Chain A
Amino acid sequence: MRTGLLSRARERRPQFAAPLLASLLVLLSSPAFAASPETSPPPAADLPAPTGFSAKDRPGDSGNATLLTWKDPSGVPEGAMIQIRRAVPPAYDWTDIATVKLGVERYEDTTAKDGVVYRYEIAVTVPAAGVSGPPVVSDPVASHDNWFSKDRTNSFIASVLFIFILLISITMAKSGKNIFIRRIAGLNAIDEAIGRATEVGKKVLYIPGIQSMDEIQTIASISILGHVARATARYGADLDVANRDPLTFASAREVVRSAYLEEGRPDLFREEMVNYVTYDQFAFTAAVSARMIREKPAAIFLIGYFFAESLILAETGQSTGAIQIAGQADPTQLPFFVATCDYTLIGEELYAASAYLTREPILLGSMRAQDIAKGIVIVLGIGGIIVTSLGLTWFPDLFKTK
């Protein structure tokens, strides 16, 4: 075995290699040399805090809610969120209530109870790393219900304006001012249809839609039913009112009874004139269609709110040769009525019926108010197109409502 410098050099080489290799490894693992640099989680103190934090009672509500708003800080890491906590002073037992994504900058706490004073605390948090930034605490706040919903101010002003126009128009109508109302063919044809039914000795079938009395179209239909019932009482024609809704049935019965009484023909009124069929939409349709085919009424009125059954009823009625007058304010089923019925009341013509048929000045006055309001809407619409085309986008925002 040789010893000496050479052997010592050989022995020395391994001693230098290990620390050299280790240093090289440490150097290479430094981020500056890493192929994909790793970001170590920032310590809590480095996370910025939100600014402009305010907690207040949520405005324009029925209470039991507070509104928190803040501004998200900049320079937050990926995956950061805003942690919201709540406490009831003086206990300061902070409870987590929500975690909100960045960019939202608001939270509505709908678990608050009226009259209870709360404090809120928000902080930036990185859930994946389990760190949070410094919290920001709000002033004490208690929720309560409010007297006015500010979000609906524009709607309130429009409603008040409309009622004001209505009352002025009615006052003017009462003073004897002549109010023009254009010819509505469908309403003019009501007496013609009933007269025809009387001539041929067949009945008049009236269907006041399939919705209940909480639907304004049904109320309008029942008003027209009163006029139709007075006409059938006067001419001595038979009337059959088929109902799908029980409340409408009860109302229709009273209206028809009163109409016959007013015309001095209570002897002609029979309880079975106004009948309840069934609540199911298509069972009602089948029953009434069968009635049309069996009894072949001379005149059919389909006035009110109808859905998918409109075409089945109208087409069946058309096949029996009856004169048909339909009316609906909702546009969905109107094309079917227009295609199958002799006359159709479209949209607001349905609501104009009572004014048109009675020619009462007060009702005509309300029609005028409606037209004035429509004129205002048209002017605002045209104005809005011009203003928005000029780039003034604040104008449509005036009409947004909650």
Chain B
Amino acid sequence: MNFEFGRVALVVLFALLPIVGIALGFFVPALRARGPLFVAFFAGIIPILSLYIPRQFLSGETGMRPRLDQWLIIVYGFALLLGIVNVIQNGSRKIARREKGWPYSAVLMTGLFLTGGLGIWGAVSGQGITTLPDGSGTPFKWIADHFFLPLQATIFALLAFFMASAAFRAFRARNTEATILLAAGIVVMAGRVPLLEFLSSPFPPLQPTAAVASQGLGKLTEWIMSTPNGAAQSGIIIGAALGAASMAIRVILGIERGYLGLGGGE
């Protein structure tokens, strides 16, 4: 067995310590919350330390940090299983009780078992999940190409319609700030496309003027995007980064516990 320090440390911190914590929690309820807090502390402090301490056991290819990332992916896989079980439970209950919308659950279950079954068969049989040994596509790939990808694109395409209805409703000159927002929005929308050329296309004598005006509008658009917009984005990014850092330190130090279902800070 390989007893490298990083591996041993991870096992102690993320396996032994939580088990001991859970066991102690049965006898001393006040300690029940400590186990997750310790895990959160070490899970948070190891990546931070690995930024500044490049030692092999911490930041190397087989160090604590990359192993922790791998363990997260494994935990994620099991959590995905939990999610799928929940989907099956909810769907089955809706179908069994003929609750409102139960046909949709029937469609969902069919898709889940059919697609999942085909994918698992492809993996287990060694035939391949998306490509057969002869190079042709599997039924799984056919479902992905003919259902999944077009449906994804369709939902994304709905954005265009919703953007139009949101713009119609929300861009009203209610006050000074809203008017500035409205004006900037119209300038940017007009400046990003050859709108003036489009509007002047039925009027040839106006086209040269439209082309020059379009250039100017384009420059104004670029200025709005790079200067006021760039400044605002930078400000929000910096503020949010400081907020995230503060929140992260609170979580690591166990001050912030709301995400565990515990009370406020201590």
Give the interface of A toward B (CB within 8 A). Answer: 60-63, 114, 145-149, 152, 155-156, 159, 162-163, 166, 170, 212-214, 216-217, 219-220, 222-224, 226-227, 243, 246-247, 249-251, 254-259, 262, 272, 275-283, 285-286, 290, 294, 308-309, 311-312, 314-316, 318, 329-331, 334, 336, 339-340, 346-348, 350-352, 354, 358, 360-363, 366-367, 369-370, 373-374, 377
Contacts and interface: CB of A to CB of B under 8 A. Distances in A.
A370 B72 CA distance: 29
Contacts of B236: 331, 334, 346-347
Residue in B82, B151, B244 with the greatest tally of chain A CB atoms within 10 Å: B244
Nearest to A372: B242
Interface of B: 48, 51-56, 59-61, 63, 72, 75-76, 79-84, 86-87, 90, 93, 100-101, 104, 148, 151-152, 155-156, 158-159, 162-163, 165-167, 169-171, 232-233, 236-240, 242-251, 255-256, 258-266
A227 B232 CA distance: 31
6 contacts: A249-B79, A251-B260, A312-B155, A318-B169, A354-B265, A377-B242
B51 A247 contact: no
A149 B53 contact: yes
Main secondary structure on chain A at its contact with chain B?
helix
B45 to A, nearest CB: 11
A-B residue pairs, 5 tightest by C-beta: A223-B258, A348-B243, A258-B261, A246-B83, A351-B243
B98 to A, nearest CB: 15
A120 B255 CA distance: 52
Contacts of B262: 258
Given A290-B104, A311-B163, A363-B265, A350 B243 contact: yes
Given A63-B56, A315-B162, A339-B170, A249 B240 contact: no
A249 B239 contact: no
Contacts of A219: 247, 251, 256, 259
A311 B82 contact: no
B150 to A, nearest CB: 11
Main secondary structure on chain B at its contact with chain A?
helix
B86 A249 contact: yes
B76 A246 contact: yes
Given A62-B63, A272-B90, A311-B159, A162 B244 contact: no
Contacts of B232: 331
A278 B51 CA distance: 34
B54 A61 contact: yes
Contact of B75 (A114, A247, A352): A247
A362 B151 contact: no
A163 B240 contact: no
A145 B163 contact: no
A214 to B, nearest CB: 7
Nearest to A352: B243
Contacts of B238: 374, 377
Contacts of A330: 240
Contacts of A213: 259
Contact of A366 (B80, B81, B250): B250
Given A246-B79, A311-B159, A222 B55 contact: no
Nearest to B233: A331
Contact of B86 (A254, A276, A348, A358): A276
Contacts of B80: 246, 279
B204 to A, nearest CB: 38
Contact of A250 (B79, B237, B249): B79
A226 to B, nearest CB: 5
A311 B162 contact: yes
